[in-house]
Structure 1
Amino acid sequence: MSFRRPTPDPVGPGQESVWDYPRPPRLEETTSVLQVELGGEVVAETREGWRVLETSHPPTYYLPRAAFADGVLRPTAGSSHCEWKGQASYFDLVGPDGSVAPRAAWTYEHPTGGFAAIAGAIAVNANLVDRCLVDGEVVIPQEGGFYGGWITSTVVGPFKGGPGSMGW
Structure 2
Amino acid sequence: MTTLPTARDVRTTPEGLRWEPSERWVRGRKGDVTVVDSRHPVLVWEPGVPVPAYAFPRKEVREDLLRPAKNPPAGAHTGSQIFYDLHVDGELLENAAWTFPSADLSDHIAFEWFLRTGKGLDHWYEEEEEIFIHPRDPHKRVDAIRSSRHVQVAIDGTVVADSHRPVLLFETGLPTRYYIPREDVRLDLLEATDRSTGCPYKGTAEYWSWRGEADVPPNVVWSYPDPLPAVGPIKGLLAFYNEEVDITVDGERLERPVTHFTRTPAKPPHD
Residue in 1 that maps onto 2:258: 143
In the alignment, which residue of structure 1 is the partner of 2:188?
Answer: 71
Matched residues in 2 for 1:39 and 1:128: separation? 10
- 1:105 is aligned, of 210, 217, 221, to 221
Alpha-carbon deviation of 1:132?
Answer: 1.1
The Cα shift of 1:77 comes to: 2.3
TM-score (structure 1 length as normaliser): 0.66
Q: Alpha-carbon deviations, 1:33-59, whole Å to 9, x = none?
A: 111112322111001001111223331
Choose from 226, 229, 237 the match for 1:121: 237
Pick from 152, 155, 164 the counterpart of residue 47 of structure 1.
164
Percentage of pairs with the same residue: 28
| Residues in 2 aligned to 1:61 and 1:53: alpha-carbon distance in whole angstroms | 9
Over residues 46-94 of structure 1, what are the superposed CA-to-partner deviations in whole Å (9 max), with x where a residue is unaligned? 0100111122333111011111124122111212211111011111023
- SS at the partner of 1:58? coil
Q: Of the candidates 118, 127, 134, which is equivalent to residue 249 of structure 2? A: 134
**Contact 2:146 2:233 (C-alpha < 8 Å) held by counterparts:** no
Whether the 8 Å CA contact 2:156–2:214 is kept in 1: the answer is yes
Structure 2: any 5+ residue segments left out of the alignment? 1-15, 19-46, 48-138, 263-271
Structure with more contact order per residue of length (Cα contacts < 8 Å, sep ≥ 6): 1
C-alpha separation between the residues in 2 aligned to 1:99 and 1:54? 29
Q: Distance in 1 between matches of 2:223 and 2:260?
A: 17
**Aligned residues, how many?**
127
What is the root-mean-square deviation of aligned Cα atoms in Å?
A: 2.3
Aligned-partner SS, 2:188: coil
Deviation of 1:117 (Å)? 1.9
Q: Partner of 1:116: helix, strand, or coil?
A: helix
Q: Name the TM-score, length of structure 2 as normaliser.
A: 0.43
Is the partner of 2:243 in helix, strand or coil? helix
Contact 1:93 1:100 in 2 (8 A): no
- Computing the radius of gyration from Cα coordinates, the structure with the larger value is 2
Residue matched to 1:154: none
Contact 2:208/2:219 (CA < 8 Å) preserved in 1?
Answer: yes
Encode CA deviations 1:114-157: one digit per residue, 9 max, x unaligned.
2222111011012223x11111111123322428xxxxxxxxxx
Gaps spanning 5+ residues in structure 1: where?
4-21, 148-168
Q: AA paired with 1:79?
A: S
